[in-house]
Structure 1
Amino acid sequence: MAIDNILYIYAIIHQYCSYSVRALTLLLPGMYIDVVHHINSFLAAFILLTAFGMLVQRRMSGLIFLFTWQGLFLAVNTALVGFVVNRHHLYISSALTLVLKVLLLPYILHTLVRRLKIHKEVETILNVPTIMLIGIALVIFSYHLVSPIRGLSTLVTRSTLAVALATVMLGLLMMITRKNAVTQIIGFLAMENGLFFAATSATYGMPLLIELGVALDILIAAFIFGIFFFHIHSNFDSLDVEQLARLKEVD
């Protein structure tokens, strides 16, 4: 009986919110769209800032911290898009992002770092100013590449597509410029964040079954990589990819 009452109250609140949004859209369409654009762009800017932060961050704990915040901004942005365009499956996507990328994956990464005793600063192939310049060039390239699409699109999220593409490229750059295998995995996860953000910006999200499959694949991959890294570290006492490459050359 109590569950029925809760569901009834939820239905009333949801219906009231839907009517309020529709009324606001009809009465103040220009103002409403502007507010949505500003909030969406604000969240996209923070996602891009966390991507740049991860690109130059050398401490592993700081890297995981920034990845967690990027997942949080991504979850909030997905929920906002779902609310604006009235796509209920985006609420589930937002909840999945929150659980997976704000809670589970950071916990797994922190556990991995603690067990492997990776406390020193992680080295990069290039120096930080050079990496920053390449990152800025990738962002400019992303905006230039997406600008024709923005002119043709009528979606509310069209302004964030360039940021999504830039996030993917910055994650790839992070994978290329890092020497430690764990940081390369974080770069891969940051790339996946960018792809998810791009799907939300370009098409209001992927079908729910695909998103569930991708989330499950990422979780399984995280466990497999964790076990794999434990075996590598126990045998070679290092996760530096350059040292592992030298061992291969010696063999």
Structure 2
Amino acid sequence: MQGLNFDIAHLLAGSLVLVSFMLLYQDRLYALLNVYALHAVVLALSVAWQAYIQDAPHLYITAAIALTFKAIIIPVALHRMIVKLGIQREIETVGGIGLTMLLGMGLVALAMVVTLRATEGAGLLAREDLAFALSVVLLGLLMMVTRRNAVSQVVGFMSLENGLVLAATGAKGMPLVVEISVAFSILIAFIVIGIFLFRIRERFDTVDIAALDRYRGEHG
């Protein structure tokens, strides 16, 4: 029974890495937000399963927060923001999708090697979950670096934070108060980022990072 519990935990954590690659592959904002919602759903399932096998009821609350805010509220709000701002729906990438996917595979391999070697004294479940979690974090960072659109960079940041939550729950969880504070900090950051995007659009008539860089060069 314990082996089955571990297999399901690894399946869910590995699925989160797979969905992170799906995020990297998207070239349209609506599809990106839909895949991010799936990312949050998989995270919620993974955290709920960890709550079950660890007998840690407080993690069910963490799963509910992830499902409510990250899978529903935030994607819906970003959808509306895109419509209201009239943001370009296509996402420009640095180097193209193919190169980004290759870099992503390299980062996952690096995460596996580094984590498994650095945590030899830890339990098997914690080691492998931490390896998956670091992969999700690195793929989120890669998205932030290779995307020119500010909204897609926000999604990259939020997927990175999902990896941090996975790491915390896989390592026997964080205290509930910390989890709630992290969740609300992310929500507040999202609100601030939303206001920031409105200001960018109002001032420069774009949220394209390259265009903002050109504007800065012209007025430097």
- 1:56 paired residue number: 25
Code of the aligned partner of 1:218: I
1:111 Cα deviation from its structure 2 partner? 1.3
1:175 Cα deviation from its structure 2 partner? 0.3
> Which aligned pairs between 1:78-93 and structure 2 lie closer than 5 A?
78-93=47-62
1:146 Cα deviation from its structure 2 partner? 1.1
CA gap 1:82/1:96 in 2 versus in 1, 3 angstroms: same
CA gap 1:37/1:150 in 2 versus in 1, 3 angstroms: farther
| 1:160 aligned to which of 129, 150, 153 | 129
1:241 equivalent to 2:209? Answer yes
* Counterpart-to-counterpart distance in 1, 2:61 and 2:46: 13
- 2:91 paired residue number: 122
Deviations 1:188-234 (A, max 9, x none): 00110011111112x22111111111111111111111111111112
Gaps of 5+ in 2: none
CA gap 1:143/1:155 in 2 versus in 1, 3 angstroms: closer
> Contact between 2:108 and 2:135, CA under 8 Å: does it hold in 1?
yes
> Contact between 2:116 and 2:128, CA under 8 Å: does it hold in 1?
no
1:218 equivalent to 2:190? Answer no
State how many pairs are aligned.
219
* Counterpart-to-counterpart distance in 2, 1:165 and 1:61: 26
Which sits farther off after the overlay, 118-127 or 205-214?
Answer: 118-127
> Which aligned pairs between 1:190-229 and structure 2 lie closer than 5 A?
190-201=159-170, 203-229=171-197
Bigger Rg, structure 1 or 2: 1
Q: TM-score, normalised by structure 2?
A: 0.95
SS of 2:123's equivalent in the other structure is coil
- 1:232 paired residue number: 200
> Contact between 2:115 and 2:127, CA under 8 Å: does it hold in 1?
no
* Counterpart-to-counterpart distance in 1, 2:179 and 2:129: 20
> Contact between 1:150 and 1:159, CA under 8 Å: does it hold in 2?
no
1:156 Cα deviation from its structure 2 partner? 3.6
1:169 equivalent to 2:120? Answer no
Task: Compare relative contact order (CA 8 Å, sep 6+) and give the higher one, 1 or 2.
Answer: 2
CA RMSD of aligned residues (A): 1.3
Provide the identity percentage: 37
1:183 equivalent to 2:152? Answer yes
* Counterpart-to-counterpart distance in 2, 1:153 and 1:221: 33
Code of the aligned partner of 2:32: L
- 1:138 paired residue number: 107
Code of the aligned partner of 2:203: N
1:155 Cα deviation from its structure 2 partner? 5.7
* Counterpart-to-counterpart distance in 2, 1:148 and 1:228: 41
Gaps of 5+ in 1: 1-31
1:236 Cα deviation from its structure 2 partner? 1.2
SS of 1:112's equivalent in the other structure is helix
Deviations 1:137-168 (A, max 9, x none): 00000000011245321264432211110100
* Counterpart-to-counterpart distance in 2, 1:126 and 1:156: 36
Q: TM-score, normalised by structure 1?
A: 0.84
* Counterpart-to-counterpart distance in 2, 1:103 and 1:227: 20
Code of the aligned partner of 1:174: M
* Counterpart-to-counterpart distance in 2, 1:76 and 1:153: 23
* Counterpart-to-counterpart distance in 1, 2:169 and 2:82: 31
